């Protein structure tokens, strides 16, 4: 009974939250996660570039050729892990790489719409991704908690220009 009252109070509180409050909460999460990424990079003596969306990345192996564009079909091997090291998915283990057409809304997350466009065929990079971009909007991933910064190690193994 006591738990039911707590849940009811939480629902009423959330129901009464204004959209501005939600925006402020989202901005605070974004700032906190950006700080987590910057601190991680500093602690590990790593330098990275930051995209306008908030993804940080480091090229770890150069590729060649054109960068992926909207409409291109890509194949990429990857490792996905929490920033603290817990691997929760890997195409090297499952032998199932990411395959999709950029811009067709078939990618696993917003980050995956952006990541291939930063790589050339054969190129490998490490991406530090805020939670809002790491998962598809409105989904829950059982392997990592909400508001978790995710590291994707990605190699663009194939690119077919459309």
Q: How far apart are CA 39 and CA 102, in angstroms?
A: 31
Residue 59's CATH number = 3.10.50.40
Q: What percent of the chain has pLDDT over 70?
A: 72
Tell me whether residue 5 is in a domain: no
- Please state whether the predicted TM-score (pTM) of the whole model is above 0.85: no
pLDDT of residue 3: 57
Q: Which of 39, 160, 153 is nearest to 101 (CA)?
A: 160
Tell me whether residue 57 is in a domain: yes
Domain count, the chain: 1
Tell me whether residue 4 is in a domain: no
**What residues contact 61, with CB distance under 8 A and at least 6 apart?**
122, 123, 124, 125, 155
pLDDT at residue 157 is higher than 50: yes
Range of the domain at 78: 18-160
pLDDT at residue 81 is higher than 70: yes
Tell me whether residue 91 is in a domain: yes
């Amino acid at each position: 009974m006591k738990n039911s009252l707590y849940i009811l109070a939480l629902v009423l509180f959330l129901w009464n939250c204004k959209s501005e409050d939600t925006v402020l909460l989202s901005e605070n999460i974004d700032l906190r996660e950006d700080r987590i990424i910057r601190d991680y990079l500093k602690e590990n003596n790593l330098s990275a570039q930051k995209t306008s969306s908030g993804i940080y990345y480091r090229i770890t192996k150069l590729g060649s050729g054109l960068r992926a564009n909207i409409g291109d079909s890509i194949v990429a091997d990857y490792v996905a892990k929490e920033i603290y090291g817990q691997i929760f998915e890997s195409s090297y283990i499952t032998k199932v790489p990411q395959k999709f057409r950029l811009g067709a809304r078939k990618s696993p997350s917003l980050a995956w719409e952006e990541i291939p466009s930063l790589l050339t065929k054969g190129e490998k990079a490490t991406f530090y991704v805020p939670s809002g971009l790491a998962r598809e909007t409105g989904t829950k991933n059982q392997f990592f908690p909400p508001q978790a910064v995710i590291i994707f190690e990605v190699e663009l193994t194939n690119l077919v220009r459309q």
